[in-house]
Amino acid sequence: AQKITQTQPGMFVQEKEAVTLDCTYDTSDPSYGLFWYKQPSSGEMIFLIYQGSYDQQNATEGRYSLNFQKARKSANLVISASQLGDSAMYFCAISRGGNYGQNFVFGPGTRLSVLP
Amino acid sequence: GAVVSQHPSRVICKSGTSVKIECRSLDFQATTMFWYRQFPKQSLMLMATSNEGSKATYEQGVEKDKFLINHASLTLSTLTVTSAHPEDSSFYICSAIPAGDSPLHFGNGTRLTVT
C-alpha cells in the first residue's frame, strides 16, 4: 500500500522568504508519480507540481520546485519568494502507475501561513 | 485548461433526505472520475471511482447503498447521498484526469451540512 507522510501540520514563513514543506512516501510500486496540491480556504484543489519516479531532474514550476530524493523517499516542496496568497493547506500525493496514474493517496497536509 | 465543475457548492438538507451532487468535465471527456470526502482539517479520502457506463468501484468502508454514484455520460458523474444523517456532513470533491498525461483536476467541492 502507498502512504504519504507530512510531518509539519503547520508552518509559518515571512513574506518574500523561501519555505520547504516536507513530504516522505512509502510505496512498493516501481513506477509512481508525486504531486503537490494547494487548497485555499475556499476548498478547491489546485495542482502545483508533478515529479515522476523515473525523472532524473527535479521538477520546477515558477516559484515551486520539488526536491526529489528517491533513495530517501522524499519529495519536498520548495516555495521561493513567498506571497501572502500562498497561505493555504498543501497536500502531497502519490499516484500509482506511470506518469499521471490514478489511485491517488494524499498526505495529511501542511497548513502554511505567510506573515506580512 | 481542463475544467471540472461541481454543483452545488453548498447544500443544507434535513436528516433523512437525499442530496445529489453533480460533477461535470466541461472541456474534456472523462471515462473515469473520482469522488473524495474531506472532514474538517483532514486530508482527502477516496470514496469511489466512477466509471462511465459501468458500476462504480467503492473503497473499503464506503457504503454503496448510501453513496450512489452514476456516471451516465463521458462528462457527468453524480453522487447521491441517500437518507443523509448529520455524520454525513462533510466536504465532497470530485476529480477527473483530462487525458493520459495530465494531473488530476478537481472540482471546487460541495460542502454538505445535514441538520
CB-based contacts of A111, cutoff 8 Å, min separation 6: A9, A10, A11, A88, A89, A90
Q: What is the mean pLDDT of residues A75-83?
A: 98
Residue A1 has pLDDT above 90, yes or no: no
User: Collapsing DSSP states into helix, strand and coil, what is residue B42?
Assistant: coil
Query: With an 8 Å Cβ cutoff, are A44 and B100 in contact?
Result: no
CA distance B27 to A114: 34
CA distance B15 to A11: 38
pLDDT number for residue A102: 65
User: By CB neighbour count within 10 A (0-12 exposed, 13-18 middle, 19+ buried), where does B74 fall?
Assistant: middle
Q: What is the mean pLDDT of residues B90-113?
A: 88
CA distance B1 to B26: 10
pLDDT category, A101, cuts 50, 70, 90?
low
Query: With an 8 Å Cβ cutoff, are A44 and B108 in contact?
Result: yes
Looking at residue B65, the DSSP 8-state letter turns out to be T
Estimate to the nearest angstrom the gap between the alpha carbon of A67 and the chain centroid: 9
Give the nearest partner residue to A104 out of B101, B104, B109, using CB atoms: B104
Does the beta carbon of A43 lie under 8 angstroms from any beta carbon of chain B? yes
Return the amino acid letter for A15: E
Query: With an 8 Å Cβ cutoff, are A43 and B91 in contact?
Result: yes
B12 strand-pairing partners = B113
The residues in A 51-90 lying below 8 A from B, measured between CB atoms, are none
Residue of A nearest to B48 (CA): A103
Mode of pairing for the β-strands spanning B76-81 and B105-106: unpaired
Which triple of cell numbers denotes residue B104? 488530476
Q: How many residues does chain B have?
A: 115
Residue A84 has pLDDT above 60, yes or no: yes
Residues of B whose CB is below 8 A from A45: 44, 93, 95, 106, 109
Residue of A nearest to B93 (CA): A44
CA distance B73 to B29: 9
pLDDT category, B102, cuts 50, 70, 90?
confident
With the C-alpha atoms ordered A61, A62, A64, A68, is the resulting torsion angle positive or negative?
positive
DSSP string, A7-18: --SEEEEETTS-
With the C-alpha atoms ordered B25, B58, A29, A2, is the resulting torsion angle positive or negative?
positive
Give the nearest partner residue to B43 out of A42, A91, A99, using CB atoms: A91
Nearest CA of chain B to the CA of A4: how many Å? 11
Q: What is the mean pLDDT of residues B2-18?
A: 95
